[in-house]
Amino acid sequence: MVNFSELILRKFRNIAGSRYEEIMKAYQEFFLTEEELQIPVITSILLVVDRFSGRIPNEVFDVLSAYPGARVDVVYLIDEGLFALIRDTLGEREAEEFRRKEESLGREIITLAERALSELGLDYSAEITFADKVEFIETESENRDLLIISRHFGSESVKTHKVSPVVFRIVQGIRKPVIVY
C-alpha cells in the first residue's frame, strides 16, 4: 500500500522548500486517510425515481454494470403527502386519478429499468411505493451500500438550482455513497 503522505513529501519536497512541512500541517485535514482511500464493496444498490426523475438514462446503467454481483432495488416513489393533500382538497375521485396516473408512469419507468438491468444480468427487484420521499430513502438506504438518485428527484429544478432541495437534504442526511445523475 502506498503511503500518500510520503509520496507527496517525496514529490514536492524541493518545490516549496522549507515551507513544505508547514503547508502539510495546514492542509492535513484535507488529505484523505488510508481508510477513506479504500474503495467500498458494493453489493446492494437502491435506485429511486419519481415523476420528476423521468426515465433513467443509459449512463446510469453503464455505471451499474461496474457492480456485476450487486442487487439493484428500483423503487418508484409516489409522494403520500401529495396524495393526501389532493384527496383532502379536491376529493377522492381526483386523488384516485392522480394515483392511477402516477402508477402508470411508474410502471413505464420501471419496465424500462427492468429491461436494462436484465440485459446487464444483474439481480434486481422493482416496486411502486407510496411514502414520504425523504423518510423512505433515509430508512431504506441504511440497508444498502449505494444510493442512486436523479438530481431532479422530489421537485422540478430551476435555472438557479440544478439540484432539487429534496436531493440536497437526502445527500446531506445519509452516510452512504450517493450517485446523483
Predicted confidence at residue 17, as pLDDT, reads 66
Give the residue carrying C-alpha cell 437534504: 169
pTM of the predicted model over 0.85 = no
The Cα–Cα gap between 67 and 80 comes to 32
CB 45 within 8 A of CB 67: yes
Give the residue carrying C-alpha cell 519536497: 13
The 10s digit of each residue's pLDDT in 57-101 is 999 999 999 998 899 999 999 988 888 999 999 999 999 999 999
Predicted confidence at residue 24, as pLDDT, reads 73
